[in-house]
Amino acid sequence: MLLQRKTTAALLAASLALFAASCKKKAPVAPPPPPPAATSAPTTTETTRPPAPVVASFSAEPTAIQRGQSSTLRWEITGNAASVSIDQTIGNVQNTGNRRVFPGENTTYTLTATGPGGATTASATVNVTSPAPPPPPPDTGGANKGTPDARLASAVQDVYFDYDKSDVRGDSQSVLQQDATALKAILADFPSLTIVVEGHCDDRGSAEYNLGLGDRRASSAKDYLVQLGVPAERLQTISYGKERPQCTDENESCWQRNRRAHFSAGQ
């Protein structure tokens, strides 16, 4: 009965006809013989003490940085490791991975891989040097105006926000006042330039909501600059939500770095 009910589709009808024909003309497709029954019992393996996990690699790249820069630790553990950890407050990590670190001074990181066969350690050192003295302020007079990107990078600072907030914080007001002065100078030097105010978020809210939050941050920063006399028609806003993070660590210092308005040169 079920067979009949299902034969309405033309393709199936055709397929059944194919089979019906085959059944009449010759014997049905001969099924293969059943496989022989398994007879041999599986062999048991002796239990031996497993080898300790092996640290296939553990490195810091670069091994020498200037203070304030980052180095990336990379590691790979092979063999049977129950836990892998790195000291210097990093804690437990996956068997294979990498982590950006921002040591303030020469630091040796020790990785410990522990398994049923014992523990293995390895270390990597990052040497930190003090930064070179900052360059002199750009010469804004005469022919040497630099490029908009270079001017923005050196003279205009990012503005930071609180979690899930888009209002300008007290400590950001002085930053925006300096930014307004610098932006007016840059816009005066490049009469066809527009400045893009980018709004960014940390990665904790939903991506969809953060697209809105980033837009509100960019708008807040723009409105503040316009109040200080930066021409509104030369500031464009764009939200990247959490799509363009500066860092991806799960801690407050990274989250704060991503909750920002950033200034870049438009077309």
Chain contacts with another protein (rule: CB under 8 A): 2-3, 6, 11-12, 15-16, 18-19, 22, 28-32, 34-35, 37, 94, 163-164, 203-209, 211-213, 215-216, 218-219, 236-240, 243, 248, 250
Query: Is there a contact between 85 and 112 (Cβ–Cβ < 8 Å)?
Result: yes
Kindly state the smallest distance separating residue 213's Cβ from another protein, in Å. Answer: 6
State which residue, 26 or 49, has the beta carbon closest to another protein: 26
Kindly state the smallest distance separating residue 118's Cβ from another protein, in Å. Answer: 26
Kindly state the smallest distance separating residue 2's Cβ from another protein, in Å. Answer: 6
State which residue, 128 or 199, has the beta carbon closest to another protein: 199
Own/partner pairs for 72-78, CB < 8 Å, 24+ apart?
72/98, 72/99, 72/100, 72/101, 73/98, 73/99, 73/100, 73/101, 73/109, 73/124, 74/98, 75/111, 75/122, 77/53, 77/113, 78/53, 78/54
Kindly state the smallest distance separating residue 220's Cβ from another protein, in Å. Answer: 9
Query: Is there a contact between 261 and 158 (Cβ–Cβ < 8 Å)?
Result: yes
State which residue, 140 or 264, has the beta carbon closest to another protein: 264
Q: Could you identify the residue written with the tokens 């989250």?
A: 255
State which residue, 46 or 250, has the beta carbon closest to another protein: 250
State which residue, 183 or 213, has the beta carbon closest to another protein: 213
State which residue, 185 or 211, has the beta carbon closest to another protein: 211
Kindly state the smallest distance separating residue 196's Cβ from another protein, in Å. Answer: 9
Distance CA 167, CA 177 (A): 15
DSSP letter for 260, please: E
Distance CA 232, CA 146 (A): 23
Kindly state the smallest distance separating residue 243's Cβ from another protein, in Å. Answer: 6
Which residues on adjacent β-strands are paired with residue 67? none
Kindly state the smallest distance separating residue 20's Cβ from another protein, in Å. Answer: 10
Task: For 73-105, give the DSSP string.
Answer: EEEEEES--SEEEETTTTEEE-SEEEEEE--SS
Distance CA 189, CA 250 (A): 40
State which residue, 2 or 132, has the beta carbon closest to another protein: 2
Identify the burial level of 217 via C-beta atoms within 10 angstroms of its C-beta, where 0-12 means exposed, 13-18 middle and 19 or more buried: buried
